[in-house]
Structure 1
Amino acid sequence: MSREAGGRGTITLLQAGRAGAAVAVVAYHAAIATRDFAEALPAAAFALFERGTFGVDFFFVLSGFIIVHAHADDSRGAGPARAYAAKRLSRIYLPYLPVSLAMIALYAGLPGISGASRDWSLTTSLTLLPTGSPPALAAAWTLVHEMMFYALFLVSYFVRGFPWIVAAWVGAILAGIGLGLQTAYAAPSLWSVLAPINAEFVAGMGAALAVRAFSPARSPALAWPCLAAGLAGVAAFFALAVDPAGPLRMLFGVAVASAVAGGAWLERAGRLRAPPALVLLGDASYAIYLVHSPVISLAARIAGRYEPFRAWPACLALCIGLGVASGLLYHLAFERPALAWLRRRLPRRAATVGPSGPSAGH
């Protein structure tokens, strides 16, 4: 779960946001599966659930926020860099690989199971390296982008002018937009390092630096305006039909970053705290993200064959419920105990590094 630098406790509001983002993504994919295998949703209802794709943006912003929040005070050099890399790689791959291997086996044994032709990469599926083709687990495209960001942050352990490197990255992203570069999200290639959505990691880093710059005593004066402005921006994106594949999407990340900073300030000042149930769901958000898509696809296929569940409200509710429940079960039965086992075997420095982003509860 998200922890403040120096072990000052869990930022529960960020965990609650992670839970909400995970459920939004599940609802979006449930709407697609319901439409494809049961009954089409009314246009207005589908457009609403389609906004769930922006849950990914919350995770990207939060990754940037927590990486800075947890690691800004790390010592520089090879030792801390190895600890950081060990924690990040284990946190991503340990829960991911069993699901990925299951999807690889499924597509290898039943290549037509998806109902459509899917060109997926074995290399990307196993390593999360960008090859120009998506991984077998379709939702894992976000992890490829996250690995790019983790690799970039690793440079900070060796280079003093790291902020200039980040600024250059943002400049290159903006230049790529101006040049019309094809930086597809779902089929990441090396060019995907210039995808506009990557700027959301930087927005999260900026939010973390702002939170670190002001003490809890001064935070409330900034918190409510930041939170209100961020939520207003999020609401505007939900109200407007912004193209999720377009460059304006990164502005959604700026709005989320403002809300994240405001929420973090309020919790530091003791003004707000999330309930334990949402914190648990936030802890499980990575597991939910990993397993929900195949579970939803199977559930919608089965529901579409039986009259009581064929109607879109019933099928949608079933898919969302099973998607969330299966992820929570995977978290409790495998992810959490497996990571606890691994932490006991990692060097102490690596074991104390806090989790972040989609791979830290989502």
Structure 2
Amino acid sequence: MAERDTTPDTDFERDAVALAKALDEFAEELSTVLEHYGAGRKALVQAMGVDQSDLSGWMQGHEQIHQIKSRRLPGTAEVDALINHTGLQEKNPSQARRLREITRQVEDLAARLSERYPRSWGSQAARCLEAQQYSSPAEKKGQEEPANSGGSESSSPAKNAAAVPRRLLVHSLFAAIGAVCSIAAVVYFLSSKDSSTSSSPSVAALSSPSALPSATAEPSPSASVSPSASPEPSSSADLPATVEETEEPREPREQLSVATKNCRSWASMINDTVQVRPCIKKENGQIAVSAEVKAFSAEIAGTDVTVWVWLMDLDPDLIDSQQYHLTRDPSTLNSCRVTLDTHQARECGPFFVEPAEPGRYTTATTVKKDDEVYPPGWSSPSFSGTLSPGVDWP
């Protein structure tokens, strides 16, 4: 197998800065929601299906990048739940739209960065931000000196003199970013070669074809979707390990929290006892939709659950108006009945579908203990499910 190219590139640097800015913007928007719309944190985290630590992390903006292995970045499903819980769509539609746009940026940028450096994209991005002395708008505002206006008191000459070399230093650091990122990439390359002989298992092993369940229900006999699974899982077959293989074992949330190009980060369901990860991929002239699921609590291991997956149309007008029931075609709905395991992820799918219209699409999924044809909430306009990254069709 050819070794992965670890030569630094400006695309990675640009995406790292873009992600930092998006996370800072998300933190500002979230702070406004919590302040102005009476969103109590305890009730909000319950509605969003996240932990208090997740919400606190999102308030830290780009600082999350430095702790990416133990952080869960905001996702589309969580933001939809936030908007529904606070009534933000009715109270401030433009802010609701902005939150969704920022969240999609975060998901897409994190996926691109993790594709470049699957096992260490967080540390690589953090080094690039440090090289640029990146700071959030709030931090920059705190660093600025008071402006001299009208009859107000004048700035200190010493302060003005000190500001000049500091700006020159920042520009110099910007010029040196390529060298610093190059050193970071060399370190990563050498460490990856040292660990290449390790026998540690990769994340790809968590969803081996022998463990895949088969589809158990199709809502419509005239469905246009083929329930046959591909020879190998689309969600992980072309992905290298996404955790540091040389580190000590972590809790499942920390091991599998990072999104990829095709799959979102793991999301908690059923009172934080189950984790699910929807995936999407264009393949052979169709779109492959699938979802991985595993027990996050030993108490639920061995329990049978139903995993539903379907194709969702990310039409901006339907999303903004919360008409989620119009974004899904029943003919794309498939489900699997699986037994949960804490040590091995189970995959439902992939199922191959072909959208009727051009647009942007995502895999939606949900997990329940019920064994039904349709997921709970299927006919509700406010039900969206947990979403994967989006793909453009065709």
TM-score of the superposed pair, with normalisation by structure 2 = 0.26
Q: Return the structure number with greater relative CO, CA threshold 8 A, min gap 6.
A: 1
In terms of fraction of residues, the more strand-rich structure is 2
Name the one with the larger helix percent: 1
Taking structure 1 as the reference length, the TM-score comes to 0.27
